[in-house]
Amino acid sequence: MTSTAALPASQYVIFLPVRNGGDYLRLAIDSVRAQTYTDWRLVILENGSTDGTMDLALAQSNIDPRISVVAASQDLGIVGNWQRVETLLRSGTVTAQFATLIGHDDILYPNFLAAIERLLVEQPTAGLYQTGFDLIDRQGQLIRPCKPLPTHETSADFLSSRGWGQRDSFGIGYVFRVADYLRVGGIPDLPLLMFSDDLLFARLAHPAGKACTDEVACAFRMHAGSTSGSQSARRLSASIEALQCFLQHIERDFPAYASSARGKAATASLIAREALIFRSPLLRWALSPAANQAINELHGKYGMCANGVFRGRWLGSGLVTRDVYIAMRTAFLALSLLRERLRQK
């Protein structure tokens, strides 16, 4: 059904924001309906689709009363659509103890909610819960499983591991208490939501920590249409501006971590992977003025934080040096931007 009225309460609410979900949406919905744990509600946040997404979502809601569709009255963009999660929860339109988010092209395995239930029993006081997940391609074939997860980590552990590239995180597989989501103000408003999930999960994991299981219970789809799989001048500019905002929030929210030797080293590692490649004029021409200014500031921050970060270590394995990595990434992105420019002509 399409509704903005109060929906029946459930243990879990699964939010699925979507615009033009295409063939993947049905797979995502089917994966929710296949859950072995059945006390859930799926809320599809439809955002002005033009490809039949709305019709598919409504058809599924007519089949299963646990599925609701909340349509936007106008194009909200990706940030505005995801921010409706907080609006619906804060207004009481959606009532649940726990919540999670899923991309329209991702899938939950049947054991996802059951795995979370087991985690809740094992670590009832944690502030955030996460299962293992697979990375899959367009056809749903396994690329690789996610990197190993600890059984428990603090917000500082999470930020450090993300800075060093030792932990995969793509937004899927996380479950949190609705009350905590509202306490931290929902999804942070960073450009195109880049780094927003890392900031959100760090906030949710503070102070009680994050409980994890290596049990693989969902999958993130890597393809050209996903934020993680696509490159364009707009996205590159947004990623740089978002990184700058992300680090500013970390300094304000977690000052002890940000000022520690551990925090500085992880920050240097993150900047090295995400921003040092933009020293090259082959790439900087494609960035917005704001992104170019952010690059200058990030390079300065890298210089202040990089003490003790050994060359090559920030890639995790240490098998590829910083200079080789930068050269490879610069060449790849330069070719991607050139193809984009040629397509626009």
Locate 234 and state its tokens.
């707009």
**Mean pLDDT rounded to a whole number for the chain:** 88
pLDDT-based confidence at 1, cuts 50/70/90? very low
> Residue 101's closest CA among 158, 46, 41, 175?
175
Q: pTM of the predicted model, to two decimals? A: 0.88
The whole-number pLDDT of residue 317 equals 45
Locate 59 and state its tokens.
């058809």
What are 66-114's pLDDT values in tens digits? 999 999 888 888 889 999 999 999 999 999 999 999 999 999 999 999 9
The whole-number pLDDT of residue 340 equals 62
Locate 55 and state its tokens.
């019709």
CA–CA separation, 97 and 21 (whole Å): 27
Contact yes or no for 337/231 (Cβ under 8 A): yes
Contact yes or no for 229/222 (Cβ under 8 A): yes
CATH for 10-221 (1.25.40.80, 2.30.30.230, 3.90.550.10, 1.20.120.530): 3.90.550.10
Domain limits, the chain: 10-221, 233-344
Locate 256 and state its tokens.
């002890």
> Residue 3's closest CA among 43, 51, 47?
43
What are 263-274's pLDDT values in tens digits? 999 999 899 888
The whole-number pLDDT of residue 324 equals 65
CA–CA separation, 168 and 132 (whole Å): 10
Give the E-state strand segments of 3-104 in sequence order: 10-18, 40-46, 67-71, 96-101
Q: Is 18 helix (H, G, I), strand (E, B) or coil?
A: strand
The CA R_g of the chain, rounded to the nearest whole Å, is 20
> Residue 222's closest CA among 134, 304, 150?
134
The whole-number pLDDT of residue 147 equals 95
Confidence check: pLDDT of 225 > 90: no
Q: Which helix (H) or strand (E) holds 153?
A: strand 152-153
- For residue 74, give every residue at least 6 positions away whose Cβ sits within 8 Å of its Cβ, in sequence order, or none: 48
